[in-house]
């Protein structure tokens, strides 16, 4: 169940960072990936027998995946409205 805690913490950190920096499209992808890892953690960590922990991982991971993917479009719009990349030419 250590994987659940690690991936859950990773999901929370990327989610908070995503809220703090809404123009970073990469953070929305990071949130979706961290959530997918949390969703898969019961199988990776072999704790599917512990129903409470497994269901918590599946539900929170699924919600995080949906939230991360739904936030991609608004993040891209904010990114383009702000001038896109800030790299010097």
**Tens of each residue's pLDDT in the chain, 89 residues:** 788 999 999 999 998 998 898 778 889 999 999 999 999 999 999 998 999 999 999 999 999 999 999 988 888 888 778 775 554 44
- Spatial separation of the C-alpha atoms in residues 71 and 27, rounded to whole Å: 10
- Is residue 18, in this structure, part of any structural domain at all? yes
Residue 18 CB-density burial (10 A; 0-12 exposed, 13-18 middle, 19+ buried): buried
Residue 23: closest CA among 65, 64, 84: 84
Q: How many domains does the chain have?
A: 1
* Per-residue model confidence (pLDDT) at position 9: 95
Domain that holds residue 37: 2-81
- Is residue 69, in this structure, part of any structural domain at all? yes
- Is residue 40, in this structure, part of any structural domain at all? yes
* Per-residue model confidence (pLDDT) at position 84: 59
Residue 10 host element (H or E): helix 2-20
* Per-residue model confidence (pLDDT) at position 64: 94
């Amino acid at each position: 169940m250590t994987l659940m805690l690690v991936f859950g913490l990773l999901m929370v950190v990327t989610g908070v960072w995503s809220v703090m920096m809404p123009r970073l499209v990469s953070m929305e992808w990071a949130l979706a990936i961290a959530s997918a890892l949390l969703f898969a953690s019961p199988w990776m960590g072999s704790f599917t027998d512990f129903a409470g922990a497994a269901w918590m991982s599946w539900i929170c991971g699924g919600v995080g995946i949906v939230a991360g993917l739904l936030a991609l479009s608004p993040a891209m719009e904010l990114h383009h409205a702000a001038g896109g990349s800030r790299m010097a030419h």
